[in-house]
Amino acid sequence: MSNVVSDLINDGVVAEAGLVGSDGGRPRTLIQVRGEFGHVVGVDIGETHVQIGLFDYTLQTLATATYSVAATRLEPEPVVRLVLAGVEEVVSAVGVETGALLGVGVGVPGAVQTGELVHAPTLGWSAVPLADMLRKELRVPVYLDNCARTLGQAEMWHGAGRGSRRAIVALLGVGVGAAVATASESFTGSFTGSFADMTSTTSTTSEWGHTVINVHGRPCRCGSRGCLEAYVGAEAILGDYLALPDAVPFEAGHTEARLAELVARAADGGSAAEVLDTVAEHLGIGIANLINLLSPDLVVLSGWAGQTLGPAILPAVREAVRRHALSYMYGQVRIEPGRFGQEAVALGAATLPVVQVLASGGVRAA
């Protein structure tokens, strides 16, 4: 172990940070990661926005750029142009050369095959070679993963999931997903990447949003009926409110701002509050199913919509979970809000190049 640490010190990845006493023998040397070792970029390609963040090697945020998108179908080429513009914006803000980046991690709302191809039906993408498209322009290493899994990594590394044995990180946005993150195990899905397996925290994603909670329920955009996403996705929530006879049109035009407006209205009671009560019940059923299946010790409600809804619905969600989960499993789980908002997926995506450098012993990818 001392040889490995010495190599990392020599490579500039870590540095000595003082001494602490020990029970016997010589004092122990503290080691800390050097943020100035290098810079990484994390990208969140979402259904409502594309966000790009620049981070140092300790994942401290240095600069961000966010672009709103409203199209129901996003063509890959315009998305790539947005990412390239965002990378240029954040590196210019800090004075970093793009070619000096340790790598770029990208979270996408779909399945990632062999770390290269993106299958994202909600964007209209099938086998899109996104990694290669970005790599050709940026000329630095590019790593892809599902956005729920990168969000899970962010919460496990720096957020509400720290110290958990097995956490489920629920992503609520226009779409709905979940990541199962563990401190020592790997749950592998058919289209997940491999970089998370190189760390002490591993995770995999599940299509939780497309588990059925009402067999004769409303149609879902996936083609099935009664899916959880059709009841607790952001667009579904807004649609339920606007379908009410006493609904008041929203002042905002964008999905994220409209959901915040709905939560503010719910504070005064009325139809908005009733809609959120129903959301809490459906979400509680979905979370109870995860608890009964996976026996976590923590469920984190995250994603941009989760952060917006959380303060208003979390108590009701906990109560719904209590009623629907097996009692002995409910007794060992906490349900907590995520620590990060809109930046969570980009932060988690930035862990991908960090993990790659660590896995290579501090060697930068060519």
Please name every residue paired with 32 in a beta bridge, in sequence order, or none if there are none: 15
Residue 111 maps to which CATH number? 3.30.420.40
Comparing CA positions, the residue from 179, 118, 197 lying closest to residue 301 is 179
Confidence of residue 342 (pLDDT cuts 50, 70, 90): confident
pTM for this prediction: 0.80
Mean pLDDT score, 301-318 = 96
Note whether 145 and 214 are same-domain residues.
Answer: no
252 found inside a domain:
yes
Integer Cα distance of 288 and 325 in angstroms: 5
- The mean pLDDT value of the chain amounts to 87
Lowest mean pLDDT among 4-13, 65-74, 103-112, 163-172: 4-13
Which tokens belong to 189?
């899905």
Domain count, the chain: 3
Which residue range forms the structural domain that includes residue 19? 2-33
Note whether 256 and 354 are same-domain residues.
Answer: no
pLDDT for the residue 336: 95
Note whether 227 and 312 are same-domain residues.
Answer: yes
238 found inside a domain:
yes
314 found inside a domain:
yes
Lowest mean pLDDT among 109-113, 171-175, 203-207, 275-279: 203-207
Integer Cα distance of 67 and 39 in angstroms: 22
171 found inside a domain:
no
181 found inside a domain:
no
307 found inside a domain:
yes
Note whether 15 and 112 are same-domain residues.
Answer: no
Neighbour count for residue 211 (Cβ, 10 Å): 19
Q: Which residue has the higher pLDDT, 13 or 120?
A: 120
351 found inside a domain:
yes
189 found inside a domain:
no
Note whether 29 and 110 are same-domain residues.
Answer: no
